[in-house]
Structure 1
Amino acid sequence: MDAAERLFVEKGIAATSIDDIAAGAQVAKGTFYLYFPSKEALLGALQQRFVDTFCARLQEAMDRHRPDNHRARLKAWAETGLQTYLDNVALHDVVFHEYRPEDRRMRNDNAVIAQLVALLVQGTAAKVWRVDDATMTAVILFNALHGVADDAVAMGQTSEADRKRRARALTNFFEQALRPEEDGSAD
């Protein structure tokens, strides 16, 4: 998978053959087929690995804060999500934008969104904020994160100072979107 990842980023998916991947991994072509029935299956595995790694980094960042400090955990999720996305944008673009799987359920079965849904539900239960539809809110916030990161790449604004400015804007947006009701209840 490491060889395929490197080659896909360097050459693109279409220009990378299974022979290239086997050679890059220093294995026989038949060995490739012991692990993956096709290049598409490998791409699906790379997507899953990307998501698993992304979620793990988000969880590590959130776990640096007490479980009941929902605002700090949300801020950590946003800041780390932006940082992780920008650190891995080339791989992200290859496995999520260049490759179009037939199953379009990726948005619905997105582990990153599921992780955010859990945080939103916890914060709602603790009356930190009001969220009527945690899944829809998580989709909106996830797409905000994705949009801010894509804009940073498009504008060439990925320096450390740019990242901090964008993370601040993103977390401010999240905080404004998740304000509790005026009376402080989350009914």
Structure 2
Amino acid sequence: MRYKTNRTESSPPRVRCVKPAEVRLSELMSAAEQLFLAKGVDSTTINEIVEQAQVAKGTFYHYFASKNELLSAMRERYTDQFLKRLEEKTGTCKADDYLGQLCAWVRESIEAYVDTYRLHDIVYTNHHHHNRTNWEKNAILEQLQVILENGTRVGVWQIAEARITSLIIYSGVHGATDDIIASSEVDRDHFISAVLVNCLQMVGVLEYQK
């Protein structure tokens, strides 16, 4: 015979998973990035972004006042990721191999831009590098300038104005890469080698072994 009992087994309490703020912020930007690439900025609503990120709408407004503010944060993240790619690539060279670092910087600048130009065009739609106070451009320039200054210091090349040479190389590489993006028929490896040779000639390195 079975007896009823008033005792009930209680289920263990649910533990609410609270994600760190930086994780939620990253997920929001990643969700927006996917939607912007697929639909465009104007066609994407904030409702769609929070649905994609699986967060409440209030979470969006906790971090951003508008899509424009979101785009500003995405622009900073894009630059950080771009710089990280360059740092990782130049970091594969020996600490005193400034010629190798310059070659790696030029190559990876082209590769990274080609790989991410669609996102680049989205985040820089209303904030192009022609902005003379653009900190993103300056951060990349400083990275290149340090390589050129170090190379001059140890006699790899002789550059009187590292900042000016950095500006010319940066602008030239960026502009030339737009050409390969516009043409699907360009041989990327040959293109990169040709750009690299021209950049090296600018710093006085006339012979380059691939």
Please state which band the TM-score falls in when normalised by the shorter chain. 0.7 to 0.9
Please state if 1:127 is matched with 2:160: no
Please give the alpha-carbon distance, in whole angstroms, between the structure 1 residues aligned to 2:105 and 2:120. Answer: 18
Alpha-carbon spacing, 1:54–1:116, altered in 2? closer, same or farther (3 Å): same
Residue 197 (structure 2) aligned to one of 147, 172, 184: 172
Structure showing greater relative contact order (alpha-carbon pairs closer than 8 Å, 6 or more residues apart): 1
Q: Structure 1: where are the runs of 5+ without partners?
A: 181-187
Partner residue in 2 for 1:31: 59
Please tell me whether the aligned partners of residues 79 and 136 of structure 2 are also in contact (alpha carbons under 8 angstroms): no
Partner residue in 1 for 2:37: 9
Residue 69 (structure 1) aligned to one of 97, 115, 130: 97
Q: Which amino acid aligns with 1:129?
A: W
List aligned pairs for 1:1-187, cutoff 5 A: 1-96=29-124, 98-100=125-127, 104=131, 105-106=133-134, 110-157=138-185, 162-179=187-204
- Count of residues in correspondence between the two structures: 175
Paired residue secondary structure (1:110):
helix
Q: Structure 2: where are the runs of 5+ without partners?
A: 1-28, 206-210
TM-score normalized with structure 1 length: 0.86
Q: CA deviation at 1:17?
A: 2.2
| CA RMSD between the two structures | 1.9
Q: Which amino acid aligns with 1:47?
A: R
Q: Which amino acid aligns with 2:57?
A: K
TM-score normalized with structure 2 length: 0.77
Please tell me whether the aligned partners of residues 50 and 57 of structure 2 are also in contact (alpha carbons under 8 angstroms): yes
Please give the alpha-carbon distance, in whole angstroms, between the structure 2 residues aligned to 1:38 and 1:62. Answer: 37
Comparing both structures, which one devotes a greater share of its residues to helix? 1
**Identity %, equivalent residues:** 37
Alpha-carbon spacing, 1:108–1:11, altered in 2? closer, same or farther (3 Å): closer
Q: Which has the larger radius of gyration?
A: 2
Please give the alpha-carbon distance, in whole angstroms, between the structure 1 residues aligned to 2:88 and 2:122. Answer: 25
Please give the alpha-carbon distance, in whole angstroms, between the structure 1 residues aligned to 2:68 and 2:127. Answer: 10
